[in-house]
Amino acid sequence: MKAEMLKIDQRTTRAMNRRLILNLLRREGSLSRVEIAEITGLSRATVTFVVNDLIAENYLVEGETVRGAGGRRPIPLAINYAGHLAIGIKMNVGSLECILTDLSTEAISTVTVNFLDPSPESVLDAAETAIRHLMTAAPTDAGAVTGIGFSMPGTIDVENGICIKSHRFFWDNVPFADMLYKRVQVPVWMEDDTIAFALAHHLFGLGRQYNTFGALAIGVGIGCAAVSNGVVLRGGHGQAGKLGHTMHKLNGALCECGRKGCLQAYYAEPVIVERWRTEKGLGPQHDRFSMRDAALQGEPLAKAILREAGENIGIHLAAFVDIVDPEVIVVGGEAVCFGDLLFGPMREALDVYCYSRPPAILPDERDNFWSSGAAALATQRLFNFEKGPGSQQGDSSIA
Ligand SMILES: [Zn+2]
């Protein structure tokens, strides 16, 4: 019994040391063994032991030793982001947006696959097609795909890879991570799409330098996520940050969740564009970019709707800011294309409604923010010591 406990202890210590060193290198870029020992407080022998393991597994690479005037400098070490691959899948209405990335969620190849209906079986077929396609696009010298991240709007049981509820896709208790794993034999992690987006920014993006920050997504829905002291908050029921379902107007417009008056029933991206189209009598070919261009050219209606949306989202966001006290707020989602037409009024509302000085709003303007967020779920296993369905599917991660 004692020997068994000791074994578990050693395994945990080993995993924690690996996590410590990998996270340090993720933040700092490149450091020598001596510097790692100094910063972490680990002994040089421990650092050498852990680092040698990580190099053998292709997770770390050694840089060139430089011979300077003062003699030989220590060998720098860095994370070998190119040495392993991840796949991210974001579930949209009617299609899956999929991406093959290296470990830093840098895009290698992308594909969008449509599904006929949102039933789990149809979505599984589409996901399998996308995964097989992306695997053929992998560079020959890159390592294997270490994991697949699947993100969708909803309440997700992250531990077990189950979608407890998604109003948009009519899913109830679907163990999708396990279903997809059985098809492709690669560990699958699932997460709410806004949380996945926050996680990607926490690990490699605009939130990397901050201990506490907020992520706001304005797309088909509106969602918020908080990273507090380095940890993503999911809440007691996986429902933290559902800002889009905050009550905006009692008995107001019908929301996809079945309630009347939720914030996103007024100001989600498709809703504001549709309102502009309807009031202008325009057809469906006029999309968010047409609306943005019209507003930029000074069209009063487009400008007024965007101002109203920015202000009202800002008012609800102010409560989030006062509770979480984030250093910055990263914003993603399709509505990012509206830029300061939306963010200007949002900042003004935060100025008025926040108790403390409001945080800076940092828009993420990449094309692949959703699917890269999903890919980050797979690489998160490297840096975190969290359990997931993947842990029962063979220990291909190093946590
Ligand atoms: Zn709602």
Question: In the structure, what pLDDT confidence band is assigned to residue 137 with cuts at 50, 70 and 90?
Answer: confident
% of residues, the chain, pLDDT over 90: 68
Check if 82-198+370-392 and 207-363 are the same fold: yes
Ligand 1 midpoint to CA 316 (Å): 14
Q: Which residue has the higher pLDDT, 9 or 370?
A: 370
Distance (angstroms) between ligand 1 centre and the Cα of 318 equals 19
CATH class held by domain 207-363: alpha beta
Q: Cα(19) to centroid of ligand 1, in Å?
A: 38
CA of 246 to the centre of ligand 1 (A): 7
CA of 160 to the centre of ligand 1 (A): 25
Residue 387, pLDDT score: 37
- Own/partner pairs, 203-207, CB within 8 angstroms, 24+ separation: 203/26, 203/105, 203/376, 203/379, 203/380, 203/383, 204/26, 204/104, 204/105, 204/376, 205/330, 205/364, 206/328, 206/330, 206/362, 206/364, 207/328, 207/330
Instruction: Evaluate if residue 308 carries a pLDDT over 60.
Output: yes
Any idea where the domains of the chain sit in the sequence? 2-79, 82-198+370-392, 207-363
Q: What is the pLDDT of residue 313?
A: 98
Confidence check: pLDDT of 219 > 60: yes
CATH 3.40.50.2300 fits 2-79, yes or no: no
CA of 306 to the centre of ligand 1 (A): 21
Task: Tell me the pLDDT tens digit for each residue of 378-390.
Answer: 888 777 643 333 3
pLDDT in tens, 177-200: 999 999 999 999 999 999 999 999
Report the separation in Å between the CA atom of 234 and the middle of ligand 1, taken as the mean of its atom positions. Answer: 18
Task: Please list, residue by residue across 152-175, b when 16 or more beta carbons sit within 10 angstroms of its beta carbon and e when fewer do.
Answer: bbbbbbbeebbbbbbbbbebeebb
* Whole-Å CA distances, 268 to 92, 181, 368: 14, 33, 19
Task: Give pLDDT, residue 11.
Answer: 76
pLDDT band at 1 (very low <50, low <70, confident <90, very high): low
Find the mean pLDDT for residues 289-304: 98
Give distance in angstroms: CA of 136 to centre of ligand 1.
40
Q: What is the mean pLDDT of residues 165-185?
A: 95
pLDDT confidence band for 398 (50 / 70 / 90) = very low
Amino acid at 394: G
Distance from the alpha carbon of residue 167 to the mean position of ligand 1, in angstroms: 9
CA dihedral 308, 312, 314, 319 (to 10 degrees): 170
Provide the pLDDT for residue 26. 86
CA-based end-to-end distance of the chain: 24
**Tokens at 37, concatenated:** 């020992």
Rounded to an integer, what distance in angstroms lies between the CA atom of residue 317 and that of residue 244?
Answer: 10
Q: In this predicted structure, what is the pLDDT of residue 71?
A: 67
Q: Is 138 left (phi over 0), alpha (psi -120 to 50) or beta?
A: beta
* pLDDT per position as a tens digit, 109-127: 999 999 999 999 999 999 9
Residue 387 CA to ligand 1 centre (angstroms)? 30
CA of 73 to the centre of ligand 1 (A): 59
What mean pLDDT value characterizes the chain? 89
CA 245 / ligand 1 centre spacing (Å): 4
Ligand 1 centroid – CA 257 distance (Å): 4
> From the CA of 39, how far away is ligand 1's center (Å)?
47
CA of 282 to the centre of ligand 1 (A): 27
Give the percent of the chain with pLDDT over 70: 93
Mean pLDDT of 266-276: 98
Q: Is the pLDDT of residue 317 over 60?
A: yes
Q: What is the pLDDT of residue 2?
A: 65
pLDDT at 150 (0 to 100): 97
Q: Per-residue pLDDT tens for 318-360?
A: 999 999 999 999 999 999 999 999 999 999 999 999 998 999 9
Sheet of 162-166, strand order: 155-157, 162-166, 171-174
Neighbours of ion ligand 1 (CB under 5 A): 245, 255, 257, 259, 262
CATH topology (fold) of 82-198+370-392: Nucleotidyltransferase; domain 5 (3.30.420)
Provide the pLDDT confidence category of residue 86 given band limits of 50, 70 and 90: very high
**Could you identify the residue written with the tokens 């395994």?**
11
pLDDT > 70? residue 69: no
131 within 8 A of 87, measured Cβ to Cβ: yes
The pLDDT of 350-379, averaged and rounded, is 90
CA of 251 from ligand 1 middle (Å) equals: 12
Q: How far is the CA of 169 from the centre of ligand 1 (A)?
A: 14
pLDDT for the residue 389: 37
With contact defined as beta carbons under 8 Å apart, do 27 and 9 qualify? no
